[in-house]
Chains A and B, each alone.
Chain A
């Protein structure tokens, strides 16, 4: 994590955090996991809400 350079004059290409390291893949997986977990949690909440209404 963090930066591998300490002078902006040396920057010529990609300069995002973790560029060219395994952090790219790790954060990609984290972002994907956020989306998938949100969908699963959202679906559970939704189905429970429908059941709750059906019981009334």
Chain B
């Protein structure tokens, strides 16, 4: 027993000391509990402490020039200032990149905008094609189509070689001097618009010239198509093409340079305002046609010996009506192309659309007034005629009536102006007919006469508006618009009359009497329009 007790005493299990008291045990437990609480605290709040430590580390690092995520950076100065400078530099670079990107986007938008106007304006020509073929008698259907197609084909290169240069050279008149805006005159035109300068072909630094030229080329082709309808069924094709080239590459272009250019003398001196080209396109083309019609004469059988007229109805009125609607669709592109896109080096404004004169406009203004004029024109023609041909012509007349002031009209006024244009159509056409003028599709009336109304409407209802942007601009006036009307009439009528007179003398104006009576398709078109007949169809030429 003694040995066993000694053994236990040596191993420490059995002590000679008295057993621990209750208080000492309680103290030991307290220490253990404190340690456990601390451990739990550390474990539970570990993430908090780590974050706190990292935050301190980061803050201290900035002060010491050490960025934990980037390491020590080369410094010479107070670290916070350096970091800010670097951030500013980085921000500046980002802003420059954004500006560059934004500039490219704007340039691409501007280029695409005008590109699409060209496509839309081609629809005008699809419409004129259908319109004229439908308005022809069935013996002349394809000859009328050929004439229209070729007008497009010859006016485009003519405008490339001549017209574009004329537009930029002539604004100040025949002096060919530079205008106040410095974007006109022979020297300027030689620099940008001669056929062999670098801007007149693919150029990686020039996104504008091609689409601008294209839009203007389509305006030019439109003048030829307007004229084309008036002279169907008796004009020689080549004689017609020579006239179309004179109109599309010279006559209307001089009008545009004078009245549709910010340096144009009509604008600078008279405050002439013609936003949608009622004068420079429609009037010039319409009265050019009148000048030609006087020398060309009416179709055989159109008038009786006593001067009364015989109807020569369209062989396919539905085709004519659809053609007219297509012309109107295309005119949305035409009028869209009359707007200057903002934000480019050549733009008037950095932040808003402008007219060709540098005055503000919106596409919404066009939407309001084109549609209201369109509606007014139909209603006016319907009330007067009840005839679908004149109603659709009235739609076009309504738009032309509002064209000069599309940027300015209050929409209900646009409807009223369009209404007057639509209602005036038939009486104006009858006036010409009574004087022995055979205008087969009413082109002189729709474009010429109604064009006068469109230009003068601005001189009646929009007096006082500044005609140009900036200080001291001339203002729109009745007299200024009247001067514009006289100039546009002369620029259309005189060359039309003179050139057609010369062609008549050369035997190049009118087809032979036998050919006219037999039909032009049978005479010179190697295919038949209706080989299975809608009535009887002519045989193709050999």
Contacts and interface: CB of A to CB of B under 8 A. Distances in A.
B371 interface: no
A46 B236 contact: yes
Interface string B133-173: 00000000000000000000010011001000000000000
Contacts of B196: 24-25, 28
A49 B521 CA distance: 11
Given A35-B154, A54-B514, A46 B205 contact: no
A53 B198 contact: no
A51 B154 CA distance: 25
Contact of A53 (B157, B161, B201, B518): B518
B202 interface: yes
Interface string B180-192: 0000000000000
A50 to B, nearest CB: 4
A14 B238 contact: no
Contacts of A20: 198
Contacts of B101: none
Nearest to B202: A16
Given A14-B203, A15-B203, A46 B198 contact: no
A12 B201 contact: no
B152 to A, nearest CB: 13
Tell me if A's interface is mostly helix, strand, loop or mixed.
Answer: helix
Interface in A15-56: 15-16, 19-20, 24-25, 28, 31-32, 35, 39, 42-43, 45-47, 49-54, 56
Contacts of B541: 49
A31 B198 CA distance: 17
Contacts of B195: 24, 28
B434 interface: no
Interface string B514-534: 110010001110000000000
A13 B198 contact: yes
B241 interface: yes
A50 B514 contact: yes
Contact of B204 (A11, A24, A32, A43): A11
A42 B237 contact: yes
B512 A12 contact: no
Tell me if B's interface is mostly helix, strand, loop or mixed.
Answer: helix
A22 B86 CA distance: 53
A50 B238 contact: no
A40 B154 CA distance: 13
B241 A39 contact: yes
Contacts of B518: 53
**Size band of the A side of the interface?**
20 to 34
B523 A15 contact: no
**Size band of the B side of the interface?**
20 to 34
A41 to B, nearest CB: 9
B511 interface: yes
A54 B154 CA distance: 29
Nearest to B196: A24
Contacts of A52: 523
A2 to B, nearest CB: 15
Interface in B488-542: 507-508, 511-515, 518, 522-524, 541
A50 B523 CA distance: 7
Nearest to A25: B196
Given A35-B154, A39-B238, A42-B237, A14 B201 contact: yes
Given A15-B204, A28-B161, A50-B511, A43 B238 contact: yes
Given A24-B196, A45-B524, A50-B515, A14 B242 contact: no
A35 to B, nearest CB: 6
A53 B241 contact: no
A51 B524 CA distance: 11
B302 to A, nearest CB: 20
Contact of B512 (A15, A19, A28, A53): A53
A24 B512 CA distance: 41
A52 B513 CA distance: 12
A24 B511 CA distance: 38
B515 A14 contact: no
Contact of B161 (A32, A43, A51): A32
Given A28-B196, A54-B515, A49 B201 contact: no
10 contacts: A11-B204, A16-B202, A19-B201, A24-B195, A28-B161, A28-B195, A39-B242, A50-B511, A50-B515, A52-B523
Interface of A: 11-16, 19-20, 24-25, 28, 31-32, 35, 39, 42-43, 45-47, 49-54, 56
Given A49-B524, A50-B512, 11 more contacts: A14-B201, A15-B204, A16-B201, A16-B202, A32-B157, A43-B508, A46-B524, A47-B507, A49-B541, A54-B512, A56-B514
